[in-house]
Amino acid sequence: MLNMVPGEPHSKAVQRMKILLVISGILLVVQGCPPIIKHSEWTTRASSCTQSLSTSLKYAVIHHTDGNPCFNISACKRQLQNIQHYHMDKRGWCDIGYNFLIGEDGNIYEGRGWTKMGAHTRGYNDVSLGISIMGNFTSVVPNSKALNAAQSLIQCSASRGYLSSVYILKGHRQLRPTNCPGNALYQVIQTWPRWG
């Protein structure tokens, strides 16, 4: 389907089409997945996790950290470091427990990421992606920046095949006896696609 400009040589039209394909490919990637702040960008403590996580996971599990909220990147990084130290030093884990964390600065932070099994929902870590919004959302909801980031991460995870195309969205409390992710946030996620 070459859109020839009259008088334009065929090779030039092919060249033009190749450039358009590259640009649309880049746009697709940008639309499909939000930027994610890498593990190495917020901590100097390397992960020692070895258990890998399979793809096409059945569940996306939403958590709150039940700690302080953060509204800018430096406060969020400090918060992430505190959680990582707690999980590694006090609980003896190989890294921060969640696969991803989200701040009310609107950023998504890589925890164990898509390829390493998390430690967030006992009995379900090998079949789920654990996404935690930083703060306590018992009586307040996360701001729209954080909620949008969480939804966009879930969509991206499904579009890249890390989550099954028929994944089920859960709040932590649906799988374990806990108040997590807080009453207010739990109300919100029940309105999201594929909650059940």
Rule CB under 5 A: which residues touch Zn ion?
63, 172, 180
User: Comparing C-alpha atoms, which of 101, 192, 86, 191 is closest to residue 146?
Assistant: 101
Least spacing, CB of residue 178 vs Zn ion, in Å: 6
User: Comparing C-alpha atoms, which of 117, 118, 123 is closest to residue 97?
Assistant: 118
Q: Give yes or no for a contact between 102 and 171, defined as CB atoms under 8 angstroms apart.
A: no
Is omega for the bond preceding 181 within 30 degrees of 0, making it cis? yes
Q: Is the Cβ of residue 76 or residue 185 nearer to Zn ion in the bound state?
A: 185
Q: Is the Cβ of residue 61 or residue 70 nearer to Zn ion in the bound state?
A: 61
Q: Is the Cβ of residue 13 or residue 184 nearer to Zn ion in the bound state?
A: 184
Q: Is the Cβ of residue 180 or residue 188 nearer to Zn ion in the bound state?
A: 180
Report CA 13 to chain centroid distance, whole Å.
Answer: 40
Return d(Cα 54, Cα 10) in angstroms, integer.
Answer: 46
Least spacing, CB of residue 63 vs Zn ion, in Å: 3
Q: Is the Cβ of residue 117 or residue 180 nearer to Zn ion in the bound state?
A: 180
The H or E element spanning position 167 is strand 163-171
Could you count the other beta carbons within 10 Å of the beta carbon of residue 32? 13
The H or E element spanning position 61 is strand 57-64
Structure tokens, 84: 């990582």
Least spacing, CB of residue 108 vs Zn ion, in Å: 17
Least spacing, CB of residue 101 vs Zn ion, in Å: 12
Least spacing, CB of residue 180 vs Zn ion, in Å: 3
Q: Is the Cβ of residue 70 or residue 159 nearer to Zn ion in the bound state?
A: 70
Q: Give yes or no for a contact between 116 and 95, defined as CB atoms under 8 angstroms apart.
A: yes
Least spacing, CB of residue 65 vs Zn ion, in Å: 8
Quickly count helices (H) and strands (E) in the chain: 5, 5
